[in-house]
Chain A
Amino acid sequence: MQVEEAMRSAVRHAIRMLLLLVLGSLLGAALVRMAPGFGVHEEDLDSRLSRESHAALDQKPAEDASLIRFYIHYCGRLLRGDLGTSTSLHEPVRQLLAERIPETTKTLAIGMALAWTLGLGAAFASLLSRWHWIQWSTSFICSLILSIPTAVLAIFFFLAQAPVRIAVGLVVLPSVYSFARGLLNRTSGLPHVLAARARGVGELGILIRHVGRVAAPQLLALCGVSVCTALAACVPIEALCDSPGIGQLAWQAALSRDLPLLVTLTLIVTLVTLCANLAAEAVGGAAFREVRR
């Protein structure tokens, strides 16, 4: 019974995910297609080109005639494993992604690890410690990080020759710390925590076994969201720091209105977002049921 239920749930999630992937990529394609500047080229301003050349450059392939037609062709190619060719870089999209996904994956993993280690650690430290200065200084550092423009961050990182991944971690850190601290702080005021303290359980033990476990579903939801934040941060940071990841690719594709590349990148981002949030929900739900038991 339980296995059947689990399978039905898995199928439901898979269908939901597929629908959202289709919807997300279609919406992304629609936004790019409708936005001004689609289909124009810098060559339009090149006075060395003749009228015939301008007209030839303006001609769209038949499959690009409309959004729906493009999308149907795109899905057909996708099923065959062909992600199309980038109109700005003139390379197969698959090849471009294969070269760049590992770089961004590393950036995301290290950035998230840094943000969560420091953020959660600082949240725990500020709750455990009786010294307000820990909270004040951490809050101030978070305000500082949030207020620094990404371009300035990029310059400093380049000068210090520090890895770009740290910048991504820093961008995510303030939200991780602030939300985590708030969640843990609220949970610390619950009756069962007071009862545990009355029984003489140590502060660290309370924080981990009683506070952390209860706040786990929300913390996991935060984790899912912070993956999306980190991925979004990759775009300007990789572009400004010239790191060869998909963030840099996304920025270039956006400026060039590169539809095949942008639709594929939207698909990837949607997939990562869905997986991260689904995992967070699944683990969080299990943790919640465990706590309620």
Chain B
Amino acid sequence: MRRARLAAGIFLLLVAAASLLAPLLAPAPYARQFREDTNASCSRQHPLGTDGLGRDRLSRLLYGTRVSLVLAPAAALLATLLAGVAGGTAGLAGGWIESSVMAAADLFLSVPWLFLLITVRALLPLNVSPLASVAITFALLGCLGWAGTARIAGAEARALRTSDMILQARASGCSAVRLLRKHIGPNLADTLLTQFWLSIPVFILSEANLGLLGLGVAEPLPSWGSLLRELGSLSSLGAEPVRFVPLALLVLTVSSFQFVLHREDARL
């Protein structure tokens, strides 16, 4: 397991390094259109071929990694932290605080937030930069994605509330914040870490779908989500395998996050 974790960590570092070195590694600018060479197969000039507008796939993958690999984990971290604070506080406090937080979580799970996202797009200036637009998108996803995990974390914290450990800590004068930070938090770590790595691919794909509402990454800036959206059409059937490289990269990255964040198993 340690070797797997090491390999996963090295993979993540390589991916991060490749994205940082994109200006050096990319065969062409990501927006440049080789219009005589659209949907081209792999070649020396275009190692992963070109897309429907003749843009080099490898370049777009490298630059897209910068957007997705930074912003998606950041949004996932935000959702995780919010879930941890909300769920932990609710479970620890109990009573009306727990009821209120769980009620808010239930509302967050039920209400059609799609319209909030549409409204946010309406409030943003039309000429907002692609990077700003995608950052706002991921921030919104992070703010909206906490509810489900908060419920699970709340249930765990509730179970811990009457545990001997917590009772002893309270008896020795621990403040609520310290209880949350030092005792509840570490015990929720597994749940929260799971939430973290689960959120990354969900947010990457959601960002692509939010392009339908004018949010997300605007052309010509690439992202993994926009590259994966290409697969969602009939022409992807029977397409060259190289078109699935973004999917493979996302799967490997998410798996790597899993392995890196994995805690040792208890022996049964």
Contact = CB atoms under 8 A, between A and B. Distances in A.
Interface of A: 16, 20, 23-24, 27-28, 31-32, 34-37, 127-128, 132, 135-136, 139-140, 143-144, 146-152, 155, 159, 174-175, 178-179, 182-183, 185-186, 188-189, 193, 197, 203, 206-207, 217-218, 220-222, 224-225, 228-229, 232, 236, 250, 254, 262, 265-266, 269-270, 273-274, 277, 280-281, 284, 288, 292
A147 B250 contact: yes
Interface stretch (B128-136, B177-185, B232-240): B232-240
A193 to B, nearest CB: 8
Nearest to B102: A277
Interface stretch (B11-19, B24-32, B45-53, B116-124): B116-124
Contact of A188 (B111, B229, B233, B266): B266
Interface of B: 1, 4, 99, 102-103, 106-107, 109-116, 118-119, 121-122, 148-149, 151-152, 154-156, 158-159, 162, 187, 190-191, 193-194, 197-198, 201-202, 204-205, 208-209, 228-229, 231-234, 236-237, 247, 250-252, 254-255, 258-259, 263, 265-268
A191 to B, nearest CB: 10
Nearest to A139: B258
Contacts of B254: 143, 146-147
A23 B111 CA distance: 10
B231 A254 contact: no
A32 B115 contact: yes
A132 B259 CA distance: 12
Given A31-B119, A144-B251, A152-B236, A225 B152 contact: yes
Contacts of A139: 255, 258-259
B interface secondary structure, majority: helix
A19 B208 CA distance: 35
Contacts of A269: 110
A229 B233 CA distance: 25
A149 B228 contact: yes
A128 B258 contact: no
A97 B158 CA distance: 37
A128 B1 CA distance: 16
Contact of B232 (A34, A152, A232): A152
Given A36-B122, A136-B4, A127 B268 contact: yes
A32 B115 CA distance: 6
Contacts of A23: 107
Contacts, number: 178
B6 to A, nearest CB: 14
23 contacts: A16-B99, A35-B116, A35-B118, A143-B254, A147-B254, A148-B247, A151-B233, A152-B228, A155-B234, A159-B237, A182-B191, A197-B268, A203-B268, A218-B156, A224-B151, A225-B151, A228-B148, A266-B112, A270-B107, A270-B110, A273-B110, A274-B106, A288-B159
A178 B198 contact: yes
Q: In the A-B complex, list the 8 residue pairs whose CB atoms are closest, starting with the nearest.
A: A151-B232, A221-B155, A189-B266, A31-B115, A270-B110, A35-B115, A188-B266, A143-B254
A266 B111 contact: yes
Given A28-B111, A175-B198, A273-B110, A147 B155 contact: no
Contact of B205 (A16, A149, A221, A222): A149
A178 B4 contact: no
Contacts of B122: 35-36
A228 B229 contact: no
